[in-house]
Structure 1
């Protein structure tokens, strides 16, 4: 039986006495029997060090620890997993050398490790136990996090500890489910560190949407405003401790960081908590793995997953499993949890060769299409701006679309006929997103190649989203990085049907409301009207709003002053239904 902690300087006889604690069983009624309490206090009196044991629910000793004069280190409790909203099934009983009550560190261990309880024993100079104090967690709706048992005399304990803990755990689990477990099997706490408050609000709103797109409920959001992120934990260790305690209290399965985690940060945070830890990159990878339908899309997602995992293989096995299992590691790569770097590199090389062949075939197909001389219009924009819905409405097709981020991962091309027998190919593309990680850019390669061949870009933005201006800028930044600034662009502001009446009147009819709406929102709408005076306002669900957009597409591709102008009415019949 292993004794954990600082054994240096102990006599062999003292080590044997510590080892024999494994063979002792405590009372089934009380926190600890008086005889067991005396054995711990005697060891502390002799050694001048804190002594501790961890009991399971059967009152058997599972861990024996020896610390220093002021602290004790609890080993990794990997054998005892925590059920969401539950307790670990272990109680800690330890001694203090200075007569102090339970410390903040004791209570932190109680909360972070979800122990059944933490008890401190005080003995006299002869090792006779004189006093005790026991703390336990409270249900999540309680005004305080910790409660304390009334028993303070080790020799007179009146609480039936076994029945008390069983009832407490059931109450905690029931209230946690009632308060926080809404509809899905997985839930998350969102965290991020930012320099400015408005940046935190906008980024967290997007992370919440991403998390829900990945199939998780968001239970809580925690942000920290700092000029520089913590190099080890992203957030300060004190704030991270609060987040972890809150996650455990609410029964969350995941802690999701908006900030990208380096391999070292991933390991540090994973060692800080037993909860599964994801960052924004892993979340996007999971969504990609869910939505990729084509063979090429699946290969690109697996490549991105493997390249993400590769630098993190030096972490311990259980940290790696939290980084790659389930959400954040879904898809073809999820069975590669503990393969070594050589096998991952071999897999990357194999997939890269398959992609080369796919890309060669696509180049040939694109060449044939180009020889047909048909102009190409590519719909671009931020994720979930309504691009696929617009394609479906324009071409009366049924490309998959949904009110989710990255609902489209594979490009789709459809043909549309304009007056005078003029055909145009319209291509839907994967949505962009701010700060796209480098290892995800490969998943966009087919989209980017389509854009380079396009004759016209239709840039769709969701005007109902309060961050739409930043979304427009993010897409324009990506286009600039791809050297596509020379492309002709039509800006389309979509989802006007979701605007409040006063905002709709302002953007569509230039009518200022009697009661001004939020200043920040007004500023954004005024800025886009000034900076994009030629923008087209539509609802992708209403074909009646497409008149101006179709006229702009036709004029840009076919006319631009070179041919006779065909009136916009040519596109519609008397019922204003598209007739192209």
Structure 2
């Protein structure tokens, strides 16, 4: 029997020892032959590497593989053995707990059970066994003493029919581990924003890791050493989703999934998932679906096992898994249909815009970084001018507003304006989002004046302002008159910071919307520019 996996640096005599051990036959009803167990535990500690093996119903070892310290790539399943094999692997860290990667492998490979054996100094510290059941993954924890008298056959019959214990059941809320490559920008700032995005999508963040961009890889995103460190963190943290801060190439997505065994998302997919949750109108839903399909199209061949077995969760809303099974021809056909529908919406908007232009009412568009306070500004504007129309309410989270909102505001007896709230901007805004939301962003393109709402209290407020200016440039709106609303001044500790911002930006007006400051200076500047 060939020993698969990473055998580099291992002596030939030690490999022969492992090969001889695999000839031992496990008698029923044991989980594993005692000498085989002690042998792989000894080699695990000696090599500081995981060892995985398959045992069939006859008690014979069907395949064996050696991995790294915190991960092992399972060997291919022997023919006609699906559902009839138990997989047993060691954890050199001494922690016997099954990781999400282990449970993912149990599901995707169609195994009878998955066992993890904690090993320290060649001795068993504990065992966890997960069984493939109809209602989840029932898990049994055993001490070294309990393992000696354990009846595997009885447990298979008992636990496969037993619903998962509420304590041992895999958490329904997804747990994410964040990864970013830092360049000149402080890496922790990147991870802070990525963490906010993850929380907005309903995911719990359980860990994060950074690597200088110069050490990254075009194939695996992270370098080899950092990838090994990541697998250790994933196992210890219990994460079942890996989120990367950049848009991944198909080969990077596939490599990371194979290396970690869990679902891998990039920044674009995460933002699209948030948009899928926030979209309420038909137009918004069409735009999100179009952006998701355009992002998916070049990655149809790059989706690994960890996505094909999903039943839901972050990154799978919107088109969902049925779209993953489409071939490229069907996806392109769907994209064309969505573009036609959005084209009709754009025609309707063009008609509405012409009617507005005939009325002579100027359009003021709110732009800015997500969660800067645009919707709150619209809310305060309606309250202070006592304008009619359905009230709006801002929320302290990223991309709280997705569908465009337009309200009529009367500034004085002679002047009425239309105030439009638009989707927020963000760094590394996916280009397919920019194009998909063109129907919405036309409100910006056709505005007479732009009100740029900026969170002046943010430590990187100028960089965020530059991000907004760059996106406005892509929309060919850089030439439009622009007022800068320096919001959240109540959170600024040093007045010099506010002065520095005011010097860098056009028509700055400091205000605190949460303290309900008067918006009269804003209206005066609007009237002046009009």
Q: Deviations over 1:157-178 (max 9, x none)?
A: x773476999xxxxxx99999x
> In the TM superposition, what are the counterparts of 1:349-498 in structure 2 within 5 Å?
349-396=336-383, 397-497=390-490
Question: In 2, Cα distance between the equivalents of 1:357 and 1:202?
Answer: 41
CA spacing shift, 1:36–1:103, aligned 2, 3 Å: closer
- 8 A Cα contact 2:200 2:398, kept in partner: yes
Unaligned runs of at least 5 residues, structure 1: 7-17, 39-50, 82-87, 94-101, 121-131, 140-148, 152-157, 167-172, 508-521, 558-580
Question: In 2, Cα distance between the equivalents of 1:415 and 1:377?
Answer: 10
> In the TM superposition, what are the counterparts of 1:155-304 in structure 2 within 5 Å?
160-161=147-148, 185-196=173-184, 198-304=185-291
1:555 correspondence with 2:495:
no
- What residue in structure 2 maps to residue 567 of structure 1? none
Question: In 1, Cα distance between the equivalents of 2:458 and 2:315?
Answer: 26
- 8 A Cα contact 1:296 1:355, kept in partner: yes
Q: Deviations over 1:211-259 (max 9, x none)?
A: 1110111111111124252111111122122223222322222111002
CA spacing shift, 1:59–1:377, aligned 2, 3 Å: farther
- 8 A Cα contact 1:53 1:62, kept in partner: yes
- 8 A Cα contact 1:194 1:229, kept in partner: no
Question: In 1, Cα distance between the equivalents of 2:527 and 2:127?
Answer: 67
Question: In 2, Cα distance between the equivalents of 1:175 and 1:529?
Answer: 55
- Tell me the TM-score normalized by structure 2: 0.74
Question: In 2, Cα distance between the equivalents of 1:351 and 1:414?
Answer: 28
Question: In 1, Cα distance between the equivalents of 2:278 and 2:334?
Answer: 22
- Tell me the TM-score normalized by structure 1: 0.68
- 8 A Cα contact 2:177 2:242, kept in partner: yes
- 8 A Cα contact 1:414 1:427, kept in partner: yes
Q: Deviations over 1:82-102 (max 9, x none)?
A: xxxxxx984248xxxxxxxx9
- 8 A Cα contact 2:25 2:59, kept in partner: yes
Q: Give how far 1:526 is off.
A: 4.7
Q: Helix, strand or coil: the match of 1:544?
A: coil
Q: Deviations over 1:93-116 (max 9, x none)?
A: 8xxxxxxxx999x999x9896551
Larger-Rg structure:
1
Instruction: Give 1:531's match in structure 2, choosing from 490, 504, 528.
Output: 504
Count how many residue pairs are aligned between Structure 1 and Structure 2: 455
Question: In 2, Cα distance between the equivalents of 1:299 and 1:60?
Answer: 54
- What residue in structure 1 maps to residue 292 of structure 2? 305
Question: In 2, Cα distance between the equivalents of 1:246 and 1:298?
Answer: 36
- What residue in structure 2 maps to residue 571 of structure 1? none
Q: Helix, strand or coil: the match of 1:486?
A: coil
CA spacing shift, 1:342–1:3, aligned 2, 3 Å: farther
Q: Give how far 1:30 is off.
A: 7.7
Question: In 2, Cα distance between the equivalents of 1:135 and 1:113?
Answer: 21
Q: Deviations over 1:22-64 (max 9, x none)?
A: 99534656852459999xxxxxxxxxxxx974349x9955743
- What residue in structure 1 maps to residue 75 of structure 2? 75
